[in-house]
Amino acid sequence: MMRGLSDRRALLLWLGSIAASRVAAQPAASAWPSRALRLVAPFPEGGVSDRVARLLAPELQRRLAQSVFVDNRPGAEGNIGCAEVAGSSDDHTLLVGNVGTHAINPLLSSHLPYDPVKDFAPISLLATVPLVLVINRDIAQAHGIRTVADLVRVAQAQPGRLLIACGNNGHYTHLAAELFKRMTQTDMQHFPHRTTAAAQRDVVAGTMDLMFDTLSLALPKMRAGKLLALAVAGRRRSPTLPDLPTMEESGGPALKGFEAGAWVGLFAPSGQPPEQLARLQRETVAALADPSLRVRMSSLGLEPQGSTAAEFAALIAAESVKWARVVRLSGVKVDR
């Protein structure tokens, strides 16, 4: 009897050891990441996506207990970096994309080197970035422009006189300008630049008159008195600049409902394990809830967010519809 019990106990211990070894041989979700994570920012250093990525990286590193580094892969308005991540089988490579890469570029290119829906798994919205309508201070003073309504009056009285700069053709700063011209029935000469920063330099220098700029990039020049902000291009005021009116508040009924802004989000290549994506989403949202990170982002004109994957996917779909309408009405044609 005792011998039978001993044999049975030995058998159970042996079976238990086999089960344990099999479990140990299987990669657990908690074992990810097992090495450094690469955040691909498909735009140059200093841009909005790059800034968000560099603010997020140390917080993710702390929460995931692995190194997280930013890798800038600029070119073709984000298409180069996106294509690299879309074709990656590396589950330690992520993308910090934006409204351009996932909502606008697909509307403007007939040979996009990636599919924004099939090739990526949305993780979380990271930040929204208000656009502001800024003007060269000397130009504003010369024409008596203090509000958006003043700008509309001048533009209507002198068609083609004002020079409006923007990022590359089809960039969200360009589409915002086209939307503004259509809603106000004004004619201003459009001058695309290679980057938003280059457009801003020309407005500061006075070779261009005005532009829609991201609050994140415009804020230092506004604080230094080199750019005059007329309005924030959203339906509500920015928490960073609560005294700056919206387009409708500064421009009147013609601009009712005007809204043009940017956003930045985190993506993974499609096909990764759901539990891995879920953990990344949880840790990202937790990182964005950190008070010190939120303060740093807000000081740069960024509005920290955090969302579920489903909420982020719904936002991308809605933004695609919105910008498709602007592209159609403005007649913008670009084939990157």
Contact 128, 216 (CB under 8 A): no
Query: Is 28 within a domain?
Result: no
C-alpha distances out from residue 54 to 11, 239, 261, Å: 54, 22, 21
> What CATH number does the domain containing 281 carry?
3.40.190.150
Specify which of 30-34, 165-169, 328-332 reaches the highest per-range mean pLDDT.
165-169
Q: What is the pLDDT of residue 330?
A: 79
CB neighbourhood size of 108 (10 A) = 20
- Give Cβ neighbours of residue 123 (< 8 Å, ≥ 6 apart): 94, 265, 266, 267, 268, 277, 280, 281, 284, 309, 312
Q: What is the pLDDT of residue 336?
A: 58
The structure's pTM equals 0.86
CA 175-218-138 angle, 5° bins: 95
Q: At what angle do helices 274-288 and 48-64 cross, to 10 degrees?
A: 110
Query: Is 89 within a domain?
Result: yes
Mean model confidence pLDDT for the chain: 90
Question: Burial letters for 202-235: b for 16+ Cβ neighbours within 10 Å, e otherwise?
Answer: bbbeeebbbbbbbbbbbbebbeeebbbbbbbbbe
Q: What is the pLDDT of residue 110?
A: 82
pLDDT at position 1 over 80: no
Mean pLDDT of the region 305-322? 96
Tokens matching residue 319:
């933004």
pLDDT at position 196 over 60: yes
- The amino acid present at 191, given as its one-letter code, is F
pLDDT at position 277 over 80: yes
Q: What is the pLDDT of residue 332?
A: 80
Query: Is 6 within a domain?
Result: no
Regarding predicted confidence, which is higher, 27 or 188?
188
Mean pLDDT of the region 88-104? 95
- Give Cβ neighbours of residue 97 (< 8 Å, ≥ 6 apart): 42, 49, 78, 82, 120, 264, 265, 266, 267
Mean pLDDT of the region 105-112? 89
Q: What is the pLDDT of residue 319?
A: 95
For 75, the domain range is 36-129+261-330
C-alpha distances out from residue 206 to 199, 230, 305, Å: 11, 17, 35
pLDDT at position 23 over 70: no
pLDDT at position 114 over 50: yes
How many domains does the chain fold into? Answer: 2
Q: Do 224 and 79 belong together in one domain?
A: no
Q: Do 269 and 125 belong together in one domain?
A: yes
Percent of the chain scored above 70 by pLDDT?
90
Q: Do 246 and 208 belong together in one domain?
A: yes
**Lowest pLDDT segment from 21-30, 103-112, 173-182, 184-193:** 21-30
Q: How confident is the model over 326-336, as pLDDT tens digits?
A: 888 877 877 65
The percent of the chain in helix, strand and coil, each rounded to the nearest 5, is 50, 20, 30
Q: Do 266 and 125 belong together in one domain?
A: yes
DSSP string, 206-256: TSS-EEEEEHHHHHHHHHTTSEEEEEESSSS--SSSTTSPBHHHHH-GGGT
pLDDT at position 13 over 80: no
- Last residue of a domain, which of 255, 280, 303? 255
- Last residue of a domain, which of 232, 255, 278? 255
Contact 170, 204 (CB under 8 A): no
Q: What is the pLDDT of residue 10?
A: 46
The CA distance from 106 to 109, in Å, is 6
Tally the residues of the chain: 336
**Sign of the C-alpha dihedral computed for residues 11, 14, 19 and 22 taken in this order:** negative
pLDDT band at 16; cut points 50, 70, 90? very low
**Sign of the C-alpha dihedral computed for residues 221, 223, 224 and 229 taken in this order:** positive
Q: What is the pLDDT of residue 111?
A: 87
Percent of the chain scored above 90 by pLDDT?
81
pLDDT at position 317 over 50: yes
The CA distance from 251 to 147, in Å, is 7
Query: Is 15 within a domain?
Result: no
